[in-house]
Structure 1
Amino acid sequence: MKKHLLAALSLLIGVGSFAQNTPVNTVLLGQRTYTADLNDVWGYEDGNGNEYALVGVRNGFSVVDVTVPSNPVEQFFIPGSNSTWRDIKTYDHYAYVMHDFSSSPSNNGLLIVDLDSMTNPTFQFIYPKAIINTVEDSATRSHNLWIDENGVLYIFGADVGLGGALMFDLTNDPWNPSFLGMYNSSYLHDGFARGDTLWGAALGNGMVVSDVTNKSQPAFRAQWNTPSTFAHNCWPSDDNQTIFTTDEVSSGYIAAYDVSDFSNVSETDRFRVVPNNQTIPHNAHVLGNFVVTSYYTYGLHILDAQDPTWLIEVGSYDSSPLSGDGYDGAWGAYPYLPSGNILITDIQEGLFIFEANYTPAARIYAFVEDSVTGLPLPAAKVYLQADNDSVALDPVDAGFRRAKIGSFGDSAFVSLANYHPIATTFNYQGGVVDTVVFKMLPIDFSVEEGDVNALSLAPNPAKDFTLITAPRALADGDVRIMDMNGKLLYTEAWTSNSNTHKVALNLPEGLYIVEVQSGQTTWTHKLVKH
């Protein structure tokens, strides 16, 4: 890390990086500038472990060796029609590249490049042929591509039919994709396919999901709108239970949806960098429990999505000198290189190579309740030392939640009229979703019970232990601790021939019943654990 940091500092001085915000859990390892504007990016590793950035440029396709991130070297460049949009995906050792509307006289169609040779690459431009309602047509441009694990190429937003998803088999002959079928119910701006499920981002038509087991007859599965009704990009979690979407609009959201039941798709959370700052999210990618996104004027952004109901920002790097809305800055992201390095293409600033520290967030759900009745206490005041902040409690369940990056301890101070105040500690643990309950004891609640022949407990309320004193020495006996519902939580033998017995309290905060039994005699006493 230190070596990378020194290299990054040197690079910052050399190229004059314009980062506007302090990087979080990211280190810039390298950068390469271009004379033309960039668009999307993909990655590739050859058989010798060398890593490459496959870069979309307004006027062609660039392949850059990023094996040594501080010294990215372009291997070759293939000129193409001038276009704002150019997308790249790979299958085996082939790259597939396609652009959208071109300002040149004609569109290039699909560029196929054999990446086996970086010094003298073999490539060809073709116009993939499709048959729609028995009529043959050819795709000369498209907005995005995807290639699934079965070697099926999906061409989204092409100039064929409604611009849905053209599907081609690459496994028989990667140079000559064979047409399989088309989703033609609506235009698809982008998409993702896994197994036999096609997820489509259809802009104003929201998210659409199809079963493409039969590629010639896709079957409807689900449809829903995203927060800003402009579904631009989508990527499912590894277990296919959640899908993440971006809305390519000012102040747009990254949204998460529970898709475990297509008949009942529900939004679980939504996130934007800073509310109302106009920044536009572009392309989100799932990497394990993290979502790596390119934001136009913000750059690289990383969310911890381990809990899809609570998305937490854990990493960022601002690659652009620009701010606010506008379609400038970071276009594409690629977080899947074997080295773990992340590629970002910034339209104006060039290709960036980052090292990211994927630090999981620590999430705490906390509640305040009466230790005797268990009822919530929403009027309580909670102060957290780490944030130097007073917390507003939910008016119904007296709860709040906090998230941090990494693991550390915090102190909480809880107060409420007619209750004993609480000063306690709790821990944030990276990657853990934890629940903390602050139990407050009413001032007028007494734990004194019985007469001189009864048990006594000290301290009470107690934190780590309590000493039980019986009215006489006991030759034998048992100690039991139960909750207020009578559930047995702890039992051990009494210290023989003694009238005292120390009990370690490995119990949550709350109210308990302590019971000591010797022969035919049973003593009980209430215990408060803080």
Structure 2
Amino acid sequence: MRKILQILTLLITSVIIAQTPCENGMAGPYPCKGMDLLSNIGLNTFTSDRGNDSWGWTDPQDGKEYAIMGLGNGTAFVDISDPINPVYLGKLPTHTGTSTWRDIKVYKDHAFVVSDINSGSHGMQVFDLTRLRSVATPPETFTEDAHFNGFGNCHNIVINEETGYAYAVGARDANGGGPIFINIQDPLNPVQEGEFTDDNYCHDAQVVIYDGPDTDYTGQEILFGSNADRLSIVDVTDKANPIGISTGLYGSTSYTHQAWLTDDKRYLILGDETDETDLGFNTRTIIFDVSDLDNPVVHFEYEADVAAIDHNGYVLGNEFYLSSYRAGLRIFDISDIAGETMVETKYFDTYPGSDSANFDGAWSVYPYFASGNIVISDINRGLFIVRDSTLGLNDTSAATFAVFPNPAEDLVNITSKSEPITNVQIYNVLGQKVLDKNFTESFSENINITTLQAGTYVLKINSTTAKRLIIK
């Protein structure tokens, strides 16, 4: 049986699977709920034996969407503007050797790549993403456009796009693993400007210009660090003089791994990576109340029905997207998080056959494409592109229409490249139509959305193209 499973795994990692709806709880071989499979590119296509992180880039020139996936031996770039027929454009090879850990973020049309590798000399690679516009014969082998050697191994890279600063975390050989502050406003010329080493090894973080409920820190640049056994909150506004604000502790700590703020910055959703394996929990999520940055406290804990290990989680509107290793992608409604409630509403399991607590399956998820297409990077089975079933499976014309801004607050502009706009409809998450407007073959329209409440919606254009719309 073991040999048969190994053969099946090799087959799975070498093929491209496309367009499979979620029907009766399955999308082909994958358990699902409310999520369709658009395509899957196996690891053999990427000539790698393992996958890890993922992120995304939308080309501001034409709205094309690109998936970026970390591999054991480099970083893969995939054109997913037609998500049913993705195109593997090429790979940026690792700066040094292979590694289980690679991390990518994007700023100003450049990808920034780090790796936690034993040789300790990887540093940070910088790749100009606009080169993806002109790949003539994919897949190509790319070269880095710049390299930063202020550290060697590094576990994660965090970027605050509002300020143009990157934060390298987990660079043990440089400073023990505390956040390193790098000015990347000129992406090809990164400059280190400081570090924070007063509070333990930092495994991952989120950094924001703070506009939450604690007015003492309004307008400050605040780092929320997942520091191995605690939450660490640091004011990093002054790169030469960062100030530790507070730490947040919780019970049954095993390894504080990663966390993400809710949109209102009142709560922070945190995952402990090894409490399932070490302490016997089912998938556990800890929700902190961070409305007072000087005194973060546990608001409640959520424990799932499955035993899988939680890994990376991200918030988009009222939904929390969690890559949960052998349980795949899990999506939660967090609209009543203040009432200590999280409800799992959808999932796509990239590791069929077992939801046990082991380090296989979904490493990360990128849910921020305007099209609603979601990228899952899987350790064993490569790159998955999935989509909420309510958005429709056969929409390959999404790139025809640009929607900006998204998230939006008062007005949203819809622009067409070729097909005239004749009708725009907006549906809420319950499937109820909340807006319906007709136009006389216009190629650009501004839609007033001030009457709609904040949340996630489905925007339908000409009754054929569906996009996800976030209203702030």
Aligned to 2:183: 169
> 1:331 and 1:227, CA in 2 relative to 1: closer, same or farther beyond 3 A?
farther
Q: TM-score, normalised by structure 1?
A: 0.61
Q: Distance in 1 between matches of 2:238 and 2:292?
A: 21
By how many angstroms is 1:345 displaced? 0.5
> 1:17 and 1:111, CA in 2 relative to 1: closer, same or farther beyond 3 A?
farther
1:272 correspondence with 2:303: yes
Asked if structure 2 preserves the Cα contact closer than 8 Å seen for 1:227 and 1:253, the reply is no
Q: Distance in 2 between matches of 1:209 and 1:358?
A: 38
Q: Distance in 1 between matches of 2:248 and 2:159?
A: 24
Asked if structure 2 preserves the Cα contact closer than 8 Å seen for 1:41 and 1:345, the reply is yes
By how many angstroms is 1:126 displaced? 2.5
1:69 correspondence with 2:83: yes
By how many angstroms is 1:187 displaced? 0.7
> 1:125 and 1:226, CA in 2 relative to 1: closer, same or farther beyond 3 A?
farther
Aligned to 1:263: 294
Asked if structure 1 preserves the Cα contact closer than 8 Å seen for 2:205 and 2:224, the reply is yes
> Is the partner of 2:19 in helix, strand or coil?
helix
1:38 correspondence with 2:51: yes
> 1:17 and 1:82, CA in 2 relative to 1: closer, same or farther beyond 3 A?
farther
Task: Give the aligned residue type for 2:19.
Answer: A
Deviations 1:140-191 (A, max 9, x none): 11111111021100101012112110011111x2112111211112210000
Runs ≥4 in structure 1, deviation > 3 angstroms? 405-408
Aligned to 1:254: 285
> Is the partner of 1:282 in helix, strand or coil?
coil
Aligned to 1:201: 226
By how many angstroms is 1:52 displaced? 0.7
Q: Distance in 2 between matches of 1:287 and 1:33?
A: 27
Q: Distance in 2 between matches of 1:227 and 1:272?
A: 14
Aligned to 2:407: none
1:50 correspondence with 2:74: no
Q: CA RMSD in A?
A: 2.4
By how many angstroms is 1:109 displaced? 1.4
By how many angstroms is 1:89 displaced? 0.2
Aligned to 2:235: 211
Aligned to 2:249: 225
Task: Give the aligned residue type for 1:144.
Answer: N
> 1:88 and 1:228, CA in 2 relative to 1: closer, same or farther beyond 3 A?
farther
Aligned to 2:144: 123
Asked if structure 2 preserves the Cα contact closer than 8 Å seen for 1:128 and 1:177, the reply is no
> Is the partner of 1:293 in helix, strand or coil?
strand
By how many angstroms is 1:127 displaced? 3.7
When you count strand as a share of all residues, which structure comes out higher?
1
Deviations 1:111-130 (A, max 9, x none): 1100111227562462443x
Deviations 1:352-375 (A, max 9, x none): 11112589xxxxxxxxxxxxxxxx
Q: Distance in 2 between matches of 1:407 and 1:65?
A: 30
> Is the partner of 2:20 in helix, strand or coil?
helix
Deviations 1:24-67 (A, max 9, x none): 22111111111221000000011211111100000111001111
> 1:227 and 1:318, CA in 2 relative to 1: closer, same or farther beyond 3 A?
farther
> 1:290 and 1:357, CA in 2 relative to 1: closer, same or farther beyond 3 A?
farther
1:100 correspondence with 2:100: no
By how many angstroms is 1:106 displaced? 5.8
Return the structure number with greater relative CO, CA threshold 8 A, min gap 6: 2
By how many angstroms is 1:209 displaced? 0.3
Q: Which structure has the greater CA radius of gyration?
A: 1
Aligned to 2:373: 341
Deviations 1:193-215 (A, max 9, x none): 001100000112x1010111111
Deviations 1:399-447 (A, max 9, x none): xxxxxx9599xxxxxxxxxxxxxxxxxxxxxx9xxxxxxxxxxxxxxxx
Asked if structure 2 preserves the Cα contact closer than 8 Å seen for 1:8 and 1:30, the reply is yes
Q: Distance in 2 between matches of 1:151 and 1:110?
A: 15
> 1:226 and 1:83, CA in 2 relative to 1: closer, same or farther beyond 3 A?
farther
By how many angstroms is 1:269 displaced? 2.4
Aligned to 2:266: 241
Aligned to 1:82: 98
Q: Distance in 2 between matches of 1:106 and 1:207?
A: 26
Aligned to 2:19: 8
Q: Distance in 2 between matches of 1:272 and 1:407?
A: 28
Aligned to 2:159: 147
Q: How many residues align?
A: 339
By how many angstroms is 1:10 displaced? 7.8
Q: Distance in 2 between matches of 1:128 and 1:198?
A: 23
> Is the partner of 2:244 in helix, strand or coil?
strand
Asked if structure 2 preserves the Cα contact closer than 8 Å seen for 1:301 and 1:317, the reply is yes
Give the gaps of 5 or more residues in structure 1. Answer: 1-5, 130-138, 360-404, 409-430, 432-530
Asked if structure 2 preserves the Cα contact closer than 8 Å seen for 1:301 and 1:315, the reply is yes
Q: Distance in 1 between matches of 2:375 and 2:303?
A: 21
Q: Distance in 2 between matches of 1:183 and 1:252?
A: 31
Give the gaps of 5 or more residues in structure 2. Answer: 1-16, 210-220, 277-281, 392-428, 433-454, 456-472
Q: Distance in 1 between matches of 2:268 and 2:65?
A: 28
Q: Distance in 2 between matches of 1:11 and 1:124?
A: 41
Q: Distance in 1 between matches of 2:228 and 2:292?
A: 22
By how many angstroms is 1:315 displaced? 1.1
Q: Distance in 2 between matches of 1:273 and 1:127?
A: 41
Asked if structure 2 preserves the Cα contact closer than 8 Å seen for 1:199 and 1:209, the reply is yes
By how many angstroms is 1:304 displaced? 0.9
Asked if structure 2 preserves the Cα contact closer than 8 Å seen for 1:39 and 1:332, the reply is yes
Task: Give the aligned residue type for 1:220.
Answer: G
